[in-house]
Amino acid sequence: MPLPDDAQLISVDDHVIEHPRVWLDRVPARFGDAIPHIERLPDGNDWWIYEGQKAGNFALNAVAGKPREQFGVEPRTYDDMRPGCHDIADRIRDMDIDGVWAQTCFPNMAGFAGRVFEAARDKDLARACVKAYNDWILDEWCAYAPDRQIPVALLPYWDTEAAVREIYRVAEKGARTYTFLELPHLRGFPSYHTDHWDPLFAATQETDLTVSVHFGSSGKSDMIPPEGGLLGNTVNEITVMGLNSGFAMAQLLTSPLFHKFPRLRFALSEGGIGWLPYLLERIDYVWERHRWYNNINREIPPSALFADHIFGCFISDRAGIVNRHLIGVDNIMFESDYPHSDSNWPHSRKQLAEALADVPDDEARKIAELNARRVFNFPRTSAAR
């Protein structure tokens, strides 16, 4: 049974390329040249310049529609990418071509969870940049097609009080989720095992937002050797990024977090799902043996927390689909990853339908649409029916 035609495909991991005026139009002018802006440098490339320094380009992050043989070196200017990368009207057209009805978009220049702003010198400017991004993504990008875009906010997470204020502000404006560090300790912050994030997650639970932790959002770990990274062998590095989500999940499920916040939801963005059955089984095996001398809940097996709290997604993952009942069909979502290199644009819906050929209709509907609508509190509108 292929994907039913009336299922509206929702992708829970896509990306925007911020257009050149996102911050120029919204950050107070007193910050002057320090405001993130685009300059075409003598190397012929468009670069983000922030606080006087290069803050990234687009290579590999805006390749939708390109032949794979060109991956890696292109694009380096706005002229060399599909307008759908940064223009919402074009994005909706590209989604229509791809068979994707709605999506969540993560930032590019800012880093998956905003670590470019975390690392900045001027924290007043950084907070203003986060606010500007949120106003842009909510008021311009998502407002253009509110039934087609699930709003993803950024947080000034390095300042817990400011992050809590921003959670209430963006929730009021319609955000459904925010992007957060998958492994905060990799950026020098306390881990999920600590109480450090309690005010932030209390606000998250109160506003009913979902926490989206995108693989790679905490930056590089030491698991990738220099020769296996972007300058030598990206296949090594990109292959294992989904395992980062496994480390995040194990930390979440062994921490006190879901005991403290019983309605909190985490989406493992771009993490894949095929490794989930292994890790869910393994975590209980270890808990059974080692709970007695550890600072961990001794009554509830960690895997029992998964169903209510953690949601995975996939692009192409035969092992995960075959084993969907070992994961829980309610905890699996789809992602198209437009315009990144993992994307199958313009064939996302076609390829998903093929991948779900042996999956019953009711399960396919959940995976393609219904789970994302529930997890992100994003019901069908009457206009969309």
Give the C-alpha separation, 196 to 190, whole Å.
6
Is residue 222 a contact residue for a second copy (CB under 8 A)? yes
Give the three-state DSSP class for 205.
helix
DSSP string, 159-189: SHHHHHHHHHHHHHTT--EEEE-SSGGGGTS
For tokens 């190397």, name the residue: 43
Backbone angles phi, psi at 363, to 5 degrees: -75, -40
Give the C-alpha separation, 30 to 235, whole Å.
44
Is residue 299 a contact residue for a second copy (CB under 8 A)? no
Is residue 291 a contact residue for a second copy (CB under 8 A)? yes
Q: In the complex with a second copy, which residue's Cβ is closer, 326 or 384?
A: 326
Backbone angles phi, psi at 87, to 5 degrees: -115, 125
Please state the closest distance from residue 275 (CB atom) to a second copy, in A.
5
Q: In the complex with a second copy, which residue's Cβ is closer, 171 or 280?
A: 280
Is residue 238 a contact residue for a second copy (CB under 8 A)? yes
Can you read off the two tokens belonging to residue 218?
A: 């905490």
Is residue 247 a contact residue for a second copy (CB under 8 A)? yes
Binds a second copy (CB under 8 A): choice among 173, 260, 282, 374: 282
Binds a second copy (CB under 8 A): choice among 277, 312, 328, 339: 277
Residues 335-354 that bind a second copy (CB under 8 A): 341-342
- Write the secondary structure of 238-279 as one string of H (helix), E (strand) and C (coil): HHHHHHHHHHHHHHHHHCCHHHHCCCCCEEEECCCCCCHHHH
Within 10 angstroms of residue 312's Cβ, the number of other Cβ atoms is 29
Total residue length of the chain: 385
Is residue 119 a contact residue for a second copy (CB under 8 A)? no
Binds a second copy (CB under 8 A): choice among 42, 44, 52, 226: 226
Q: In the complex with a second copy, which residue's Cβ is closer, 162 or 240?
A: 240
Please state the closest distance from residue 338 (CB atom) to a second copy, in A.
14
Binds a second copy (CB under 8 A): choice among 53, 294, 300, 384: 294
Give the three-state DSSP class for 157.
coil
Q: Which stretch binds a second copy (CB under 8 A): 11-19, 171-179, 217-225, 351-359?
A: 217-225
| 49-68 footprint of a second copy as x/- string (CB under 8 A) | -------------------x
Q: In the complex with a second copy, which residue's Cβ is closer, 29 or 292?
A: 292
Is residue 385 a contact residue for a second copy (CB under 8 A)? no
Can you read off the two tokens belonging to residue 112?
A: 């998956």
Binds a second copy (CB under 8 A): choice among 119, 173, 228, 330: 228
Is residue 259 a contact residue for a second copy (CB under 8 A)? no
Is residue 357 a contact residue for a second copy (CB under 8 A)? no
Residues 175-214 that bind a second copy (CB under 8 A): 183, 185-186, 190-194
Is residue 105 a contact residue for a second copy (CB under 8 A)? no
Can you read off the two tokens belonging to residue 113?
A: 């969870």
Nearest to 15 by CA among 235, 215, 282: 215
Q: Which stretch binds a second copy (CB under 8 A): 81-89, 282-290, 346-354, 357-365?
A: 282-290
Please state the closest distance from residue 309 (CB atom) to a second copy, in A.
16
Sheet of 10-15, strand order: 149-150, 102-106, 10-15, 332-334, 310-314, 266-269, 210-214, 177-180, 152-153
Q: In the complex with a second copy, which residue's Cβ is closer, 207 or 323?
A: 323
Helix axes 276-290, 234-254, angle to 10 degrees: 40
Is residue 72 a contact residue for a second copy (CB under 8 A)? yes
Binning the chain into helix, strand and coil, the percentages to the nearest 5 are: 45, 15, 45
Is residue 251 a contact residue for a second copy (CB under 8 A)? yes
